[in-house]
Structure 1
Amino acid sequence: MPITASSRAVAAAALVTVALTLTTACHDAPGNTSDNPVSAVSPAPGTATDDGNPPGPGGRVACTPEMLRFHAGALPRRDRRMLLTVTNFSDRTCDFAAQRYPLLRFGDGRRATLPAIAASRPPTVVSLAPGATAYAVITTSAGRPGGPGHRGRKISQFGVALTGRAAPTQVGLDGRAPVHVDPRTATVTYWRSSLDAVRKW
């Protein structure tokens, strides 16, 4: 039977179809990744970074005593008030998300930490950039020294802890003048980023 031009065209088209089918099958075969693009995979959230330390919530760094300097002294023109300041002298920004007010204890270790003044809580967590300062006001007693029902003791230093499990840092009072405090009625504000925000307490 003679081979015509039309039969040759049909045979050529069939060969092209077979070749394309084989090529597609090779590329789709399992394990064949030679033509696939390489993509970078980010570490899962919460995994360790290159230095081996897990990141904090939202990538934040918690303030630690090693990063801070504390000062305490009488609040000018405010009776029964002490001002506690903390300055970040490190080169990293940190915050007080783990504990938003200082944990203070006057007297022996059996006494509870001072309660915080709820109304002094700021709307957002206080962060400290390098060189920045935060403030807290301590109400040393609810009544005047020597007044009815007033009890307490004079102190020249006290402990400040940043979290419940942290060891307290001893802070001496500026001026070295002892201050009379009543641990039963003393309170403390939340950390605030400006002095004006705590002065009213």
Structure 2
Amino acid sequence: MPPLFTSARRALAAALTVTAVLAPAAACHGTGANRSDDPATAVSPAPASPTVTDGGPPRGPGGRVICTPEMLRFHAGALPHRARRMLLTVTNYANRPCDFAAPHHVLLSFGEGRRPAVPVIGRSRPGSVATLAPNGTAYALITTGTGGSGRKVSQFGVALAAHTVPTQVGLDDRTPARVDPHTARVTYWQPSRAAALRW
């Protein structure tokens, strides 16, 4: 065979060998780059846990979660055997414990507008800040007034901290109660029903 044809055949064989080697590598870096088992995807870092800056719950001193209305459910009703008394309960339906923000007592308001919060009974302050575990409940006693005057209400506002929008809480039985906003009082959040009923 002439030398010219021998050299051409050798060059063609070498080119085919290079193509066979490069083809699998090209396939691995082509459409397969978007597969879920691609090494670059498999080792991607997990999303960071929520923080205050990216929408996480507010934090108080020591990094403890502060209770927000979205975490809680309120109930209120008159006490049948206690004149001019109502019991307010709040239950934590979140999956984490939370603390009440300062001033750690119910910011209660009757009526509409910017009426001041009902004064708190100072002597009812518990020894420690009430912490609500998941499904835990805290209590507050409301004295509706010292006399027979006042007006009937079927709901009232409860705020968890100063300068926040109150949550409207309706009475459980929907029966209006007579309240005198000028003489009504409320306790601090109490850890038990028995502690609240002392007042």
Residue type of the alignment partner of 1:51: P
- Asked if residue 190 in structure 1 is aligned to residue 188 in structure 2, the reply is yes
User: What per-residue deviation string (whole Å, max 9, x for no partner) do you get for residues 73-94 of structure 1?
Assistant: 0123110000000000000100
Q: CA deviation at 1:110?
A: 3.4
Cross-structure match for 1:177: 175
Secondary structure of the equivalent of 1:198?
helix
The answer to whether the Cα contact below 8 Å between 2:153 and 2:178 also exists between their aligned partners in 1 is: yes
Aligned length: 147
Secondary structure of the equivalent of 2:104?
coil
* Aligned counterparts, 1:79-118, within 5 A: 79-118=83-122
Cross-structure match for 1:135: 139
The answer to whether the Cα contact below 8 Å between 1:156 and 1:173 also exists between their aligned partners in 2 is: yes
Q: How many Å separate the matches in 1 of 2:131 and 2:51?
A: 24
Cross-structure match for 2:125: 121
Q: How many Å separate the matches in 2 of 1:65 and 1:126?
A: 16
Q: CA deviation at 1:178?
A: 0.3
Structure with greater proportional helix content: 2
Give the TM-score of the pair, scaled to structure 1: 0.70
User: What per-residue deviation string (whole Å, max 9, x for no partner) do you get for residues 26-71 of structure 1?
Assistant: xxxxxxxxxxxxxxxxxxxxxxx95342753112111000000000
Cross-structure match for 2:155: 157
Residue type of the alignment partner of 1:182: D
Q: How many Å separate the matches in 1 of 2:65 and 2:113?
A: 29
Residue type of the alignment partner of 2:66: A
The answer to whether the Cα contact below 8 Å between 1:97 and 1:126 also exists between their aligned partners in 2 is: no
Of residues 53-62 and 94-103 in structure 1, the stretch that sits farther from structure 2 once superposed is 53-62
User: What per-residue deviation string (whole Å, max 9, x for no partner) do you get for residues 1-38 of structure 1?
Assistant: xxxxxxxxxxxxxxxxxxxxxxxxxxxxxxxxxxxxxx
**Alignment RMSD:** 1.5
Q: How many Å separate the matches in 1 of 2:180 and 2:69?
A: 26
Secondary structure of the equivalent of 1:176?
coil
Secondary structure of the equivalent of 2:52?
coil
Unaligned ranges ≥5, structure 1? 1-48
Residue type of the alignment partner of 2:178: H
The answer to whether the Cα contact below 8 Å between 1:63 and 1:95 also exists between their aligned partners in 2 is: yes
Q: How many Å separate the matches in 2 of 1:113 and 1:165?
A: 11
- The percent of aligned pairs where both chains have the same amino acid is 62
Q: How many Å separate the matches in 1 of 2:153 and 2:100?
A: 26
